[in-house]
Structure 1
Amino acid sequence: MSYGYPVTKVLRILQLNKSTYYYNINKDSNTKLLEEQNIVNKGGRPISGLSKTNNGKVISDEQVKEYICEIIESKGLCYGYYKITIMLKRKFKLIINKKKVYRLCKELNVLRSQRQVKPKHPRKIAQNREITKPNSLWEVDIKYGYINGEDRFFYIASFLDVYDRNIVEYHMGLLCTAEDIVITLKRALMKRNLYNKETGLVIRSDNGPQFISHKFEDTCKELNLEHERIPFKSPNKNAHIESFHRLLEDECLSRYEFKSYAESYETVSEYMKSYNKVRIHSSLGYISPMEFYQKILDGTAKSLIVKL
Structure 2
Amino acid sequence: MAVATHSAGRPVPGLSYTQDGKLVSDEQICEWIMEFLAGEGASYGYRKLTVLLRSRHGLRINKKKVYRLCKRMDVLRPQRQLKIKYPKRLANNRVITDSNQLWETDIKYGWLHGEQRFFFLMSIIDVFDRVIIAYHIGLTCESRHLVQITQEALMKRQLFDKVNKPVIRSDNGPQFISH
Normalised by the size of structure 1, how large is the TM-score? Answer: 0.35
Query: Contact 1:171–1:184 (CA<8 Å) still a contact in 2?
Result: no
Q: Does 1:63 align with 2:32?
A: yes
Instruction: Decide which structure has greater helix share.
Output: 1
In 2, the alpha carbon distance for the partners of 1:142 and 1:214 equals 9
In 2, the alpha carbon distance for the partners of 1:190 and 1:215 equals 18
Query: Aligned-pair distance for 1:88?
Result: 3.6
Query: Contact 1:138–1:161 (CA<8 Å) still a contact in 2?
Result: yes
Query: Any idea what the Cα deviations from partners look like across 1:34-87, whole Å, max 9, x if unmatched?
Result: xxxxxxxx9766795x654323263330212434676756xx8xx764465355
Letter in 1 for 2:89: H
How many residue pairs get aligned? The number is: 158
Q: Which has the larger radius of gyration?
A: 1
Query: Any idea what the Cα deviations from partners look like across 1:243-283, whole Å, max 9, x if unmatched?
Result: xxxxxxxxxxxxxxxxxxxxxxxxxxxxxxxxxxxxxxxxx
Query: Aligned-pair distance for 1:142?
Result: 1.8
Fraction of identical pairs, as percent? 32
Letter in 2 for 1:89: R
In 2, the alpha carbon distance for the partners of 1:94 and 1:60 equals 9
Q: Which residue of 1 aligns with 2:109?
A: 144
The two structures, once aligned, show a CA RMSD in angstroms of 5.0
In 1, the alpha carbon distance for the partners of 2:13 and 2:81 equals 26
Structure 2 unaligned spans of 5+: 155-162
Query: Any idea what the Cα deviations from partners look like across 1:192-218, whole Å, max 9, x if unmatched?
Result: 6xxxxx86532244x5xx34x5976xx
In 2, the alpha carbon distance for the partners of 1:62 and 1:90 equals 16
In 1, the alpha carbon distance for the partners of 2:108 and 2:58 equals 53
Query: Contact 2:123–2:133 (CA<8 Å) still a contact in 1?
Result: no
- CA 1:125–1:108: 2 relative to 1, 3 Å: same
Query: Aligned-pair distance for 1:98?
Result: 2.5
Pairing of 1:85-234 with structure 2 (within 5 A): 85-86=50-51, 88-90=53-55, 92-106=57-71, 107-115=74-82, 120-125=88-93, 127-131=95-99, 136-160=101-125, 166-167=133-134, 170=136, 172-173=138-139, 180=142, 184-185=145-146, 201-205=166-170, 210-211=172-173, 213=174
Query: Contact 1:160–1:166 (CA<8 Å) still a contact in 2?
Result: yes
Query: Aligned-pair distance for 1:92?
Result: 3.8
In 1, the alpha carbon distance for the partners of 2:175 and 2:114 equals 36
In 2, the alpha carbon distance for the partners of 1:165 and 1:43 equals 64
Query: Aligned-pair distance for 1:130?
Result: 0.1
Structure 1 unaligned spans of 5+: 1-19, 21-41, 193-197, 217-308
Instruction: Decide which structure has greater strand share.
Output: 2
Q: Which residue of 2 aligns with 1:247?
A: none
Query: Contact 1:67–1:88 (CA<8 Å) still a contact in 2?
Result: no
In 2, the alpha carbon distance for the partners of 1:199 and 1:92 equals 73
- CA 1:145–1:67: 2 relative to 1, 3 Å: same
Query: Contact 1:81–1:101 (CA<8 Å) still a contact in 2?
Result: yes
In 2, the alpha carbon distance for the partners of 1:96 and 1:69 equals 21
2:110 counterpart SS class: strand
Query: Contact 2:110–2:119 (CA<8 Å) still a contact in 1?
Result: yes
